[in-house]
Structure 1
Amino acid sequence: MKHLLVLVLSALTASVVFAQPYTADRHLARKVPCQACHVTGDTSVPVRKQNCLACHQSYEVVAQKTKDLKPNPHFNHYGERDCSTCHSGHKPSVTSCNQCHKFDLKTP
C-alpha cells in the first residue's frame, strides 16, 4: 500500500511539474493573489484589460517587453486589444492572430 501511495504521489508531482501552467498559475507562483485580477471577488466575471494594466503598467510597456517577437503580438493592426482575447487565466491561452494568420507564437 505504501508503495502504491508513493507511485501515485510521484505521478501527480510529475504531472504538475511538466504541465503547461495557465496564466493564473503563473501569477500565483509570483505570489499574486486571485483578488489582484478578480478585483470584485467574482471569478465568474472576465478579467478586463484595466485590471491587467494595474500591474503590467500600460499596453506600450507590454509591447516593449515582446518587441523581439516576430510579429510583436502587442503591436498589431487591431491596436490595444483586451488581454483576455489571447490570455486565459484558467484554461489554455490562444494566439488569436492565428485565426487569420499562421504565426509561431507561444501565448502564456
Structure 2
Amino acid sequence: MNKLKLGTCAAALIAGVILMSAGAQAHELSGKHAREGLKCVDCHKVDKPVSAATPDACMECHGDYGKVAALTKSLHANPHDSHLGQLACTKCHGIHKPSEIVCLECHSEFEFKLK
C-alpha cells in the first residue's frame, strides 16, 4: 500500500474515533470511507460484494489489532483489548448499518462512544 493511501486510511481511522454518547443514535461508516475515496472493491476485494468485508481487509488500512487497541487504551475499559478477544470489526462497527457496542450487551456501566 502506498504511503498516501496509508495516510488517508490513518486519517479516516482517527476521524472515525470521534466519540458520541453511548445512548446516541449510531451511524454508518460507509460515508466516511466514501469521502476518503474508497470503493467497495477496496474492502470487499470484489466489485459486487455479497458479504461483509473480513477483519483482514479492515486491518489493511487500520493496522493490526494491537495498533487499534493502542488508539483506545485511554478509555475506562478498552473495547479493543477485551476479554472477548479480537472480535470481527463488524461486530461493533457498522459500515452499511448502524454501529452497536457489543460490550453494552452485558456491561451497563461502560460509556463507550463509537466513531
Structure 2 length as normaliser, TM-score?
0.70
Match of 2:43 in 1: 37
Q: Distance in 1 between matches of 2:87 and 2:27?
A: 23
Q: Which aligned segments of 4 or more residues in structure 1 are displaced greater than 6 angstroms?
A: none
Higher helix share: 1
The 8 Å contact of residues 101 and 114 in structure 2, kept in 1 or not, is answered as: yes
Residue identity opposite 1:29 in structure 2: R
Q: Distance in 2 between matches of 1:82 and 1:20?
A: 18
- Between 80-89 and 23-32, the greater mean CA deviation after superposition: 23-32
The 8 Å contact of residues 26 and 99 in structure 2, kept in 1 or not, is answered as: no
Unmatched tracts of structure 1, length 5 or more: 1-18
Match of 2:111 in 1: 104
More relative contact order in 1 or in 2 (CA 8 Å, sep 6+)? 2
The 8 Å contact of residues 80 and 86 in structure 2, kept in 1 or not, is answered as: yes
Identity of matched residues, %: 33
Deviation at 1:98, TM superposition (A): 0.8
Deviation at 1:21, TM superposition (A): 4.6
Q: Distance in 1 between matches of 2:31 and 2:107?
A: 28
The 8 Å contact of residues 54 and 88 in structure 2, kept in 1 or not, is answered as: yes
